[in-house]
Amino acid sequence: MTSISSAFAKAKAENRAALIGYLPAGYPTVDGAVECIAAMVEGGVDIIEIGLPYSDPLMDGITIQEAVQLSLENGTKIADVIDTAARVSTLGVATLVMSYWNPIERFGVEKFAEQLRAAGGVGVITPDLTPEEAANWIVATDANEIDRVFLVALSSTDQRLKTVADATNGFVYAGAVMGVTGARASLGDAVSEVVARTRAVTDLPIAVGLGVSTAAQAHEIAQFADGVIVGSAFINAIAAGGPQAARELAKDLRAGVVR
C-alpha cells in the first residue's frame, strides 16, 4: 500500500511534481479501466484517482460526463469501484477514489471508508462536500486512516483556504480554472496565486487540476505546485488509442512535470 505522503515525497526527492491521473471505474469496462490504469502507472503516474460513476456529475465537463455515462450503462456499481481500487493498489501506486458525496452517503459513510481501506485505498476526493458538512466523514476517515482531499477554488478567500486546508489531511486540490473539468488550451495565471495563498495556511502538498491536458501545461504547473492532476486528457487518449495511448500520454506528462 503506497501512501499519498510517500508519493509526494518521492516526487519531491526527484525534483518534480507528482503526476496524478484520473479515470472512472468501469471505463471503458471494469477490466478495461484496470488495464488502462496499469498503463498509466507504467507511463509514470504516481497517484491514481478512480472516479466513482454518478448520474449527476455537476462539476464535470462533457468528456468525463460521457465516460461516466458509459460506465453507468455498463452497470458499474460501488462494489466495482472498491474492486478496482483493490486491483490498482497492487500496482504500487497511491490509490484514491474521487466521488460526489451523495453516492457515499447513500452507501454508508463508515462502510465506504472501511471497505476502501480494506481494499488498499488511501484517500478520497469529495469535490462537492464542504468541511462544514463533513463531520461524519471526518470521523469515518480518521477511524480508517483514509486521507481526505477537499478542494479550493481561484475565488476562495484566505479564510476559506484555511478552513479547507484544516479539514484536509491528504493534499489540497486547487482548481486551475473556474467552471467544470475538461482539457483546455491555456490555464491562466491566477492558479499560481491561489497555490501561493494556500501554502501560507498549510504544509500539506498542493496539487492543481481541472483543465490540465498537455506536457507544457504540466511543466508550467510543476514550477509552483506539488502535484499535477490530469483526467479528461487520459479519457480522450483512451478513447482514441486504448491503454497504449494512455501509457504514451503518461510518459509525455511525466517528462513535463520536472522542475
* Options 60, 80, 147, 220, the catalytic residue: 60
CA distance 205 to 96: 15
Q: Cell triple for residue 33?
A: 479501466
In terms of residue numbers, what domain contains 92?
4-256
Q: Is the dihedral of CA 242, 235, 21, 192 positive or negative?
A: positive
* Options 49, 80, 147, 226, the catalytic residue: 49
16-28: pLDDT as tens digits: 999 999 999 999 9
Give pLDDT, residue 182: 41
Q: Give the bridge partners for 50, in sequence order.
A: 23, 97
Q: Residue written as cell 503518461?
A: 250
137-193: pLDDT as tens digits: 999 999 999 999 999 999 999 999 999 999 999 999 998 654 444 443 445 578 999
Global pTM reads: 0.94
Which of the residues in the chain have pLDDT under 50? 178-186
Domain total of the chain: 1
Give pLDDT, residue 178: 42
Give pLDDT, residue 180: 42
For residue 243, say if its preceding peptide bond is cis, omega within 30 degrees of 0.
no
Give pLDDT, residue 250: 98
Within 10 angstroms of residue 156's Cβ, the number of other Cβ atoms is 18
Catalytic: 49? yes
User: Three-state secondary structure along 19-73?
Assistant: EEEEEECCCCCHHHHHHHHHHHHHHCCCEEEEECCCCCCCCCCHHHHHHHHHHHH
CA distance 65 to 245: 20
Amino acid at 66: E
Helices marked H in the chain: 4-13, 30-43, 62-73, 78-89, 101-107, 109-118, 135-143, 158-167, 190-199, 215-222, 232-256
DSSP-derived letter for residue 242 is H
Give pLDDT, residue 223: 96
Q: Which CATH number do you get for residue 208?
A: 3.20.20.70
Q: What are phi and psi of 174, to 5 degrees?
A: -105, 120
